[in-house]
Structure 1
């Protein structure tokens, strides 16, 4: 009888151990808890910034200067508020000299996460838990994976996207369908 108990307990123990390892492995993959201690800082330059031409010298100096090239124009901006994770910084919607559009995150500071994206949305920005899940309810454009959880970053809008149709930006965690933080875009 003792032999039977031992024989039965080994497979049960092995199965339990295998299941435990699988559950722990899946949990680590899904939650990626080590990202809470990893920061990724990105420091991208303002897109479309054009240096002013040097002042002419010699005979050309008497010629009136040509109009200076213009840099990016801010169409809308806003401050990030915290949702699921503490988030701060600002957002600007820019029109570049070539007519394209970019969302710029400045002084971003948020937690790192397993599957973070930058979304341009038509959803209202709500404070607290009420704002955690609203951004996938309406129309949104996924501008790509968040490049880093700190710093200054640029995200190009696809050419067929009309930026006037969108009113907010969210740092969205696709894995858990939750906003880490968001900003309402006030038109300038």
Structure 2
């Protein structure tokens, strides 16, 4: 009788612990995200590329000066200007698409992910970093080693999406973008941001 009474509370206690641990495990790993997709279709910039001004003297021995006062070597771009771009490489999960930095006519910057296709996962963030992009497992965990700026949670694991870059962020040494799983400190995929022009 005594063992039956002791066994009842112990079993109930063990079951309660098991339920709590299972619930925490499901919340932490969120395994359903591996089989579900979240698609985003935001409007992206129609970028222009501006050729550099011609070098050297023109007729009459005078030097040709660029017109206007915009960010492209003295010329005002008629629309958003492509500053840097690169293709995603796979890290923890198969990832494809293009990342690009765009400067708007008013001088602001934004990161645009074009045709992104990666796995869904828990706590995914978009990071600009100063780390080089390496293929394979060598590149999985390097992006939190140096300087990084978080632009926000990943809006969706598929599709076109844009993230504003705060005005106080110095882009000079931020040379890559990572889809970073903050919970497990691993990159799902990353792209180098190669300067354009």
Q: What residue is the counterpart of 1:35 in the other structure? A: 33
Deviation at 1:49, TM superposition (A): 6.8
* Equivalent residue, structure 2, for 1:183: 191
**1:97 CA drift (Å):** 0.7
CA contact (8 A) 2:47 2:102 kept: no
Q: Shift of residue 108 of structure 1?
A: 0.3
Aligned to 1:59: none
Contact 2:122/2:183 (8 A) holds in 1: yes
Number of residue pairs aligned between Structure 1 and Structure 2? 170
Unaligned segments of structure 1, at least 5 residues: 51-66
Structure 1 CA distance, aligned partners of 2:45 and 2:192?
A: 22
Contact 1:47 1:154 in 2 (8 A): no
RMSD of equivalent CA atoms: 1.8
Corresponding residue for 2:121? 113
Give the 5 Å matches for 1:22-101.
22-47=20-45, 70-101=78-109
Cα deviation digits, residues 49-82 of structure 1 (max 9, x gap)? 79xxxxxxxxxxxxxxxx9961211111101011
Cα 1:48–1:106 shift into 2, 3 Å = closer
Determine which structure has the larger helix proportion and give its number.
1
1:61 maps to which residue? Answer: none
Contact 1:43-1:153 within 8 A present in 2 as well: yes
Q: 2:149 aligns with which of 125, 135, 141?
A: 141
Deviations 1:132-181 (A, max 9, x none): 11001100110001111100111110000121221100000111111000
Deviation at 1:47, TM superposition (A): 3.6
Q: In 2 relative to 1, CA 48–99 (structure 1 residues): closer, same or farther, beyond 3 Å?
A: farther
Contact 1:119/1:140, CA 8 A, preserved across alignment: yes
In the TM superposition, what are the counterparts of 1:161-176 in structure 2 within 5 Å?
161-176=169-184
TM-score by length of 2: 0.82
Match of 1:10 in 2: 8
Tell me how far 1:113 sits from its aligned partner.
1.1
